[in-house]
Chains A and B, each alone.
Chain A
């Protein structure tokens, strides 16, 4: 049973986890927000009501969300190979991480938009706003606190996903905890990795809460 801790290894693992989490969080936020706007605006009674587009997007989002992440990792291996050229390493984890977190975040955005007072949208229409103006100047600013807290929630779930991706070869703290902490029974590595993951999650939550508190004037 090992107890030694390789700091260089640990540092690399922390960096890999942070890299995977934040790069995929960035893409998931951008794509998720776009899909969220699409879902919200095409729904019945929406700004660009379109049943067909809404149904198709809805089904894709639901299917992606229904597939367990571990299985999604495996299913996306061909795509990952084509995009990244390898199925190992932190970069190779990005496509499945983004594919898993984007629909999750898109759903949170739809919820955020639904909480926007319909009256403000009606008032904007009465003022002669175009749909684009309503999205930019009313919908997004009014939903911003929920959009930001959604990013934090997605970021936290991404940390969990990176640990799973790590277990099948993506690197990071999950990989470290599994390969060294569990397989080689090194408790020091296992607990240190766990504590660092918890700290990263806390940091994301704290940052999210702080920003929401600052921007929410309700």
Chain B
């Protein structure tokens, strides 16, 4: 368990003091994937570095599994850090070492004998799917492969916690998905607690169970991803959620569609993840006789099922029939609004 208690970090500049982190308290449970989302400059990178004490907080406590991090001696801290892996936006691999040697670096730091290092690095190369590339140098790898090396390296000493600092921000969307799937697999198979720092809502949505939204050094909202997605309260959270929901603001889109389809009825369905994989819309259509067309849809798969919004156009029917259709969906737990 990671406990952050009233963490504050002040940077002194020439004629000013900057509160990069301002009174943050958080508890991250064992085995969960916790997302911390915020725009750049929100203090999230500083906060994650305080967890493994790459940055020392100005005030507050960092307690990991009952050990207060800032009271550890240098030696104790170094051995504690071997229990906390970290991956980075720019991978931070050593160009002078091959894939295998990069993965073995933390084992060398930990004083693991050579034969054991070799065995462990082979396991990790297989785990992250880099078989056959063990003797390549980082300069010969793609971004996604480099991050796989980064992940393998971070896992070398069997950590309990993995910190991800914008780990997918330098990757294209396809590679991002692959890396996120890998992190999820690691979380499920090895039970490692993962803390993810990101500015991408899709990332949080895809893998995280709980999340916190950070702005100006403070946590403005915290909860399950599902809750925050369904009921964003803070302005910043709304902006993040909306970005995934749709590129254009919801009201604007509804107005546009109403003009385009003046007859019949327009329906907005919001999926918030708790639905089953059943073909909900198809089942509802089977109960009615009028035609239904999907005119706009933005559904993303996530850790708890489908998220997003779908717009339906119902026509050539009577109002009673429309109501039957809407109720069928509502009973399945879909939020339906008639526009």
Contacts and interface: CB of A to CB of B under 8 A. Distances in A.
Given A141-B96, A142-B95, A128 B78 contact: yes
A119 B49 CA distance: 13
Contacts of A144: 96
B293 interface: no
A214 interface: no
Contacts of B95: 142, 217-218
Interface string B87-106: 01011111111000000011
Given A120-B92, A120-B94, A127 B137 contact: no
A133 to B, nearest CB: 5
Contacts of B81: 125-128
Contacts of A120: 92-94
B142 interface: no
A209 interface: no
B108 interface: yes
A143 to B, nearest CB: 9
Contact of B90 (A119, A124, A126, A137): A119
Contacts of B110: 128
Interface in B67-123: 74, 77-82, 84-86, 88, 90-97, 105-106, 108-110
A123 interface: yes
B54 interface: yes
Given A127-B109, A128-B79, A129-B78, A122 B92 contact: yes
A81 B156 CA distance: 57
B52 interface: yes
Contacts of B77: 128
Given A125-B54, A128-B80, A130-B78, A137 B92 contact: no
Interface of A: 117, 119-120, 122-130, 133, 137-138, 141-142, 144, 215, 217-218
Q: Which 9 A-B pairs have the closest CB atoms?
A: A128-B81, A119-B92, A123-B92, A127-B106, A128-B78, A126-B86, A128-B82, A217-B137, A129-B109
25 contacts: A119-B90, A119-B92, A120-B93, A122-B92, A123-B88, A123-B92, A125-B54, A126-B52, A126-B81, A127-B81, A127-B153, A127-B157, A128-B81, A128-B106, A128-B110, A128-B157, A129-B109, A130-B74, A133-B108, A133-B109, A137-B109, A141-B97, A142-B95, A217-B95, A217-B96
